[in-house]
Amino acid sequence: MTGEIQKRFHARSIEDPDGFWREQAELIHWDKPFEQVLDYSRPPFARWFVGGKTNLCYNAVDRHLADRADQNAVVYISTETGLEKNYTFRELHAEVNRFADVLKKLGVGKGDRVIIYMPMIPEALFAMLACTRLGAIHSVVFGGFASHSLSTRIDDARPLVMVTADAGMRGGKSVCYKPLVDEACRLAKHPPQNVLIVDRGIDREMVRIPGRDKDYTELRDAVGEVTVPVVWLESTDPSYILYTSGTTGKPKGVQRDTGGHAVALAASMRHIFCGKPGEAMFTTSDIGWVVGHSYIVYAPLIQGMTTIMYEGLPTRPDAGIWWKIVAQHRVSVMFSSPTAIRVLKKQDPKYLAQHDLKSLRYLFLAGEPLDEPTARWISDGLGVPVVDNYWQTETGWPILSAMLGVEETPRKYGSPSFPVYGYNVQLLDESTGQKVAADQKGVLGIVPPLPPGCLTTVWGDDARFVSTYFSLLKDRKVYSSFDWGIRDQDGYYFILGRTDDVINVAGHRLGTREIEEAISGHHNIAEVAVVGVEDKLKGQVPIAFAVPKNASGLVDSAAYRAFEKEVMDTVDKSLGGIARPARVHFVTLLPKTRSGKLLRRSIQALAEGRDPGDLTTLDDATALEQIRAALQRSAD
Ligand code: ATP
Ligand code: MG
């Protein structure tokens, strides 16, 4: 039977974590070997590779100088500025050393925090690697975040230095960062002593604050050729802090270690992403998100691959730009998000077929549920297999995925396949704490210890780590993903949505994802969001906001009603009358975070006449206006 090999691989990782991870640890360089694979004497805190010393920057850069100094390490492409630049491993090494020297002269050393608030430019990646070289802890904050969000992160991380740029670019428009940084430093109680600015020459009016603001290019040029010694860290020393995107609640500083992190990423390249040294990987995320940390920066470089760093939209100059990049740089592994593919789906499919994509082995998608129509559309259009994988900022690498480097298992559309090695995944009934049977819904929990690479704690707040993530069950500590899932008879998992997105209609629990999936099965629907809205009779009723592919016929209200009914009938047919949305509103845009996640919570708040909450991560404010207008129209 297929799937047996990956099943055994997974089982071994759970039954013999010591043996399993000892082998994986050979994938990286250790300056000093570890004495103990796992110290789990203080559950749920896991300490991996205790006693070992290593360094992320060394593994990502220096280690490759012997074999691949002249191979491209970073290929930078900006369709915003027109700049394209390649860095070999030798050149990357030189740039990272210069950056490290500049930071060192500003007083940065082991354990110090550095906030990196940057657009997608190579210096952002150099800065991250320079920090890890010095043993400093970076905290990348997505460039363009509002000053308030930036200031709360400053006060939590208390950085010695902030690295920023004059401006970012998006869709041909510039976003000036410097005024946002100044305001954030003004709001913060513990602002950084130094602000290091990479001046791209976009914001010509940029004002510098004497004493605090430093020009990176000036300092870099003064450095010349330099080698900054690698600071060997304990495996358990922190490497970075990344604040969760804040779709839910107050941002938490996800803290990652050094050795476990390096091993987990190296192993994932081999067993999950199947990227080989010398090949190219293209991850379309932003370095400000976890996908960017893991799969633009650390994992491909640790693996000796060329990483493609892209600044720009997927639709400019046209919707073929990504595929052009794949063809030009012979990308073998690509990683993107369902949201991005849904954006492309609104464009002419001809763009998918213009380039030679022979080099591309797989397209990995993560971050949001991947509906079957979108998965089919992109997979058929490109002629490339799509691999859905499920994980979180907290885990840093996939929890559920096919492991094609272990075994070529068939995929099912809509499913991120199986629990990945290292993760003891269980679907749990919240009230009884029992494992649910196949085809039954449950909360996706992970029995600790969490594997290497996952968060080791919440920055500065061990108690919050335990109380937030390990209080799903009363009688034992199990990590909660806060997502609902279901496993079919063949062992394939499906994510149904977040636990707080579950709707209770007359006593029936429905995942918003299930209804969304049904609606997106309609041939004229590009995107949809479903939320549960309070109802006197039924407790809650589902309401849908859908983006039609072709909205030209919908101006007339009779046609609008008819289409609405058609969409409702689609849900009836696949899920039954209980799931039928009370209303389907048609809009041209859905509110999303800048990381491409639907803001269901804000939509729900508006639909229930409440305040939509913190909107600093909202990508496009007009989307929420459309929701408001649609609700208003239906109330009139
Ligand atoms: P915050 O935790 O700050 O509210 P967030 O949860 O949106 O933010 P991430 O850690 O980037 O930030 O997102 C992880 C979540 O994204 C998962 O918990 C899950 O809800 C969703 N997700 C990720 N990948 C998939 C996938 N392949 N299928 C379904 N859902 C996914
Ligand atoms: Mg989350």
Residue 144 has pLDDT above 80, yes or no: no
- With tokens 């006197």, the residue in question is 536
* Selection from 96, 102, 117, 479 nearest residue 298 by Cα: 96
299 and 265 Cβ atoms separated by less than 8 Å: yes
Q: What is the pLDDT of residues 494-518, one digit of tens each?
A: 999 888 888 888 888 888 888 998 9
Residue nearest to atom 16 of ligand 1 (CA): 367
Looking from the CA of residue 243, the nearest atom of ligand 1 is 3
C-beta of 597 in contact with ligand 1 (< 6 A): yes
Cα diameter, the chain? 73
* CA dist., res. 471 & res. 308, Å (int): 40
Please tell me the number of the ligand nearest to residue 397's CA.
1
* 506-635 shares the fold of 4-484: no
* Mean pLDDT for all residues in the chain: 94
Label residue 507 left, alpha or beta by phi (over 0 means left) and psi (-120 to 50 means alpha).
left
pLDDT range class, residue 346, cuts 50, 70, 90: confident
Question: Which pLDDT belongs to residue 250?
Answer: 66
- Residue 306 amino acid letter: T
Share of the chain above pLDDT 70, in %: 99
- Residue-wise pLDDT tens digits, 214-238: 999 999 999 989 999 999 999 999 9
Of the CA atoms within 13 Å of residue 42, those in its CB half-sphere come to: 8
Which ligand minimizes its atom distance to the CA of 292? 1
Cβ atoms of 628 and 607 closer than 8 Å? no
For ligand 1, atom 29: residue with the closest CA: 369
- Say if ligand 1 is within 6 A of residue 390 CB: yes
- Residue with the smallest CA separation from ligand 1 atom 13 is 392
Region 44-52 average pLDDT: 98
Rounded to the nearest 10°, the torsion over CA 36, 40, 44, 46 is 0
- Looking at residue 618, what DSSP letter applies? B
Q: How far is the CA of 248 from the centre of ligand 1 (A)?
A: 10
pLDDT of residue 249: 55
Contact 272, 405 (CB under 8 A): yes
Q: 146 pLDDT band (50/70/90 cuts)?
A: confident
Give domain limits for the chain: 4-484, 506-635
Rounded to the nearest angstrom, the distance between the alpha carbon of 302 and the centre of ligand 2 is 26
For range 515-542, the mean pLDDT: 91
Ligand number, closest to the Cα atom of 293: 1
Say yes or no: CB of residue 594 within 6 Å of ligand 1. no
Q: What is the mean pLDDT of residues 262-269?
A: 98
The CB of 454 under 6 Å from ligand 1? The reply is no
DSSP conformation letters of 258-322: SHHHHHHHHHHIIIII---TTSEEEE-S-TTSHHHIIIIIIHHHHTTPEEEEEES-TTSS-TTHH
Asked if the model's pLDDT at residue 248 lies above 60, the reply is no
> 393 CA distance to ligand 1 centroid (A)?
8
Predicted TM-score (pTM) of the model is 0.93
Whose alpha carbon is nearest atom 12 of ligand 1?
245
**How far is residue 423 from each of residues 13, 24, 43, 402, 436, measured CA to CA in Å?**
8, 15, 16, 13, 17
CA-closest candidate to residue 464, choices 45, 140, 112, 148 = 45
Position 507 scores a pLDDT of 81
Whether domain 506-635 has CATH 3.30.300.30: the reply is yes
| Position with higher pLDDT, 598 vs 297 | 297
pLDDT band at 379, cuts 50/70/90?
very high
Q: Which superfamily does CATH assign the domain made up of 4-484 to?
A: ANL, N-terminal domain (3.40.50.12780)
* Cα 142 to averaged position of ligand 1 atoms, centre (Å): 16
Encode pLDDT of 350-368 as tens digits: 999 999 999 999 999 999 9
Q: Per-residue pLDDT for 614 more than 80?
A: no
Average pLDDT over residues 5-26: 98
CA atoms within 13 A on the CB side of 48: 29
Q: What is the pLDDT of residue 617?
A: 74
Mutation probe of ligand 1 site: the residue of 256, 295, 391 with most atoms within 8 A of C-beta = 391
Which residues are paired to 84 by β-bridges? 77
- Per-residue pLDDT reduced to its tens digit, 541-583: 999 999 998 888 787 888 899 999 999 999 999 888 889 999 9
User: Ligand 1 center to residue 359 CA distance, Å?
Assistant: 29
